[in-house]
Chains A and B, each alone.
Chain A
C-alpha cells in the first residue's frame, strides 16, 4: 500500500508543474420556498513550483454538471394531417444541468482527442448507446438545443477571467428548475491543448425547510400526504364558502 502511494507521488509530481487551488462562493445550493436560481462564483489560483512556462497559452476550463438522468427524445412527424411523435431515441447519459466556462474558445485550448477523452464539451458529455450511424445525432442536437433554451446547458466562452496567468474566476448562474443531487464542478488547466491538471469538487443541490419536508412526506408517506392535500382542499372550499356567506349577511 505504502509502495503504491509512493509510486503515485512519484508519477504525479513531475506531471503537475502547475496545480489548481480552488475556492467556491458557496459549498451547497439550498432550494428554499422562494428559490429563483442561484449564482456560484468559482475562483482559484494556479500554484507553481517554477515560473510559468512561456509559449503556449494557459487554458482554464470550468464545468459544472448536474446528476445524469436518462431521457427519451421524441421527434414529431406529420401523419394524416396532424403532428405525431414517431421516432424516439433514448439518451442513456444526459446531465440534468451542464455548464462549460472557458477563458478562450474551447477548441483553442483543448484538443479534440482530449475533449473526447475527458468529455468536456456538451456534445461529448451526452452519450447515446445504439447504432453508431449518425442517426442519433439529430436527436442529441435537439436535446442540447432544447436544454440550452431552458438555460440548463450553457457554453460560456471567454467567461473565465484569468489574471497574471495565476488567478482565475467565473460565475455560473443556475436556473430555478434544477434537479436535486450532487453537482460536480471540474476545473481543468491546459497548455497547448493538453490537460495539465484537474480539480474535482462536488456542490450538493438540495431542498431545505418546508420544501424538504413536503417532498419527503410526499414520497415516504404518500397516503398521509394525499389525505392532507384533500383536507386542505376541502377546508379551503368550506372556508371560502363560509366567509362569503358572512359577507352577504
Chain B
C-alpha cells in the first residue's frame, strides 16, 4: 500500500515503514539505544530526503524511547538524578551541535562529515564494546568472581554527587561532558546518541548495565524532543505521517525488545549491540571507500 508523505513529498510503501519501525523498535528496547543510527541511514536508502529523515527520526525516537522508559520505570531501573545531569549536558550539546551543523553546511561538506562521524564513532565504540564483552564472557565462563570497579581519574574530580540508584558517588563533571558530547553528536548525526551514551556510562562512569538502558532512554526523550522542535520550527522538515508509521511499528517493537532484553545476560546484550554497531560502521566505510556508481549528486541550492 503506497502512501504519500506530505512533507517529504515522496510516495512509499506503508508496510515497509511499519516493518522498519518495528525492527528498529525491538533494538531500541533491547539495548536502550534510540535506533536512530540504524533508522536514519535506512530512510536515506528508501529515498526519503536526508533533511526530512533526520528531523522525523528525532520525533520517532521520542515515541520509542518513551515507550521503553515506562517499562524501565516500572522496574525502577532509571537513575533520575544521573539522567537529569546527562540531560543538562545534552541540551547544551544539542544547541552547540546545531550551530556546528549550520557552519559545516555552509562549507558544503556536511554529508561527508556526518558519514565520517558515523564511521569513526561507530567503529571506535563497536570495537571497544566487542573486545570488552568477549573478555567478560570468557571470564564468566571460567566462573571467576566479578572484579570490583577500580578507582580511576574519574573518581578524583570535584563536585561529587551521590547517585543512589547507580550506587555511585562521583563528580558531576564526567556525566555533564558525556551529555554535551552526546548532544553535539545527536544534532549532527540525527540520532538519539544512545549508542555512544550507553558505552560511556558503562565504561567511563562505571554505572551498572541494568540502570544504564533506562537512564539513557530518559535522557534521549528530552534531547530528541528538543531537536524535533528545533527542526519543526526552523526547517519545517518533520513529516508527521512518516513519523506515525515509523512509531506505530517502533513502539510495539520497543515493548517486545525490552522484554527480550530482560531475559538476556548483560554480556550477550553488549556483544550483540557491538556487532550491530560494527556492521553499520563497515557498510558506511565501504560506501566511502568504493567508487560510487554515480559520481554526481543533486542538491537543492540553498535549500534545507
Contacts and interface: CB of A to CB of B under 8 A. Distances in A.
A244 B302 CA distance: 46
Contact of A71 (B11, B47, B300): B300
B238 A218 contact: yes
B272 interface: no
B299 A177 contact: no
A176 B233 contact: no
Contact of B301 (A33, A71, A85, A240): A71
Contact of A90 (B63, B112, B296, B301): B301
A115 to B, nearest CB: 24
A180 B10 CA distance: 11
Contact of A228 (B66, B74, B240): B240
Interface string B1-28: 1111011011100000000000000000
Given A74-B299, A83-B288, A214-B240, A176 B10 contact: yes
Nearest to B300: A71
Contact of A88 (B59, B74, B108, B229): B108
Contact of B3 (A33, A71, A88, A138): A33
B70 to A, nearest CB: 4
A239 B283 CA distance: 35
B6 A230 contact: no
Interface in B60-103: 60, 62-68, 70-71, 74
A35 B291 CA distance: 35
A36 interface: yes
Interface stretch (B148-156, B183-191, B241-249): B241-249
A212 B241 CA distance: 12
A199 interface: no
Nearest to A228: B240
A139 B297 CA distance: 9
Nearest to A82: B288
Interface stretch (B121-129, B192-200, B250-258): B250-258
A229 interface: yes
Interface residues of B, number: 58
B255 A71 contact: no
Interface in B200-242: 225, 228-229, 231-233, 236, 238, 240-241
Contact of A146 (B71, B296, B300, B302): B296
Contacts of A70: 300-302
Contacts of B62: 230, 233-234, 237
Question: Which one of A138, A211, A232, A237 has the highest number of Cβ atoms from chain B below 10 Å of its Cβ?
Answer: A237
A73 interface: yes
A237 B67 contact: yes
Interface in A194-249: 207, 210-212, 214-215, 218-219, 222-223, 225-230, 232-234, 236-241, 244-245
A31 B4 contact: yes
Given A33-B4, A211-B4, A230-B62, A83 B291 contact: yes
A81 B108 contact: no
Interface string A35-47: 1110000000000
A76 B10 CA distance: 26
Contacts of A143: 296, 298
A180 B288 CA distance: 34
A179 interface: yes
Q: Which 7 A-B pairs have the closest CB atoms?
A: A237-B66, A226-B232, A176-B11, A142-B296, A240-B251, A237-B67, A233-B63
Interface of B: 1-4, 6-7, 9-11, 47, 59-60, 62-68, 70-71, 74, 108-109, 111-112, 225, 228-229, 231-233, 236, 238, 240-241, 243-244, 247-248, 251-252, 254-255, 288-292, 294-302
9 contacts: A35-B4, A70-B301, A76-B292, A215-B7, A222-B232, A223-B229, A228-B240, A233-B59, A234-B66
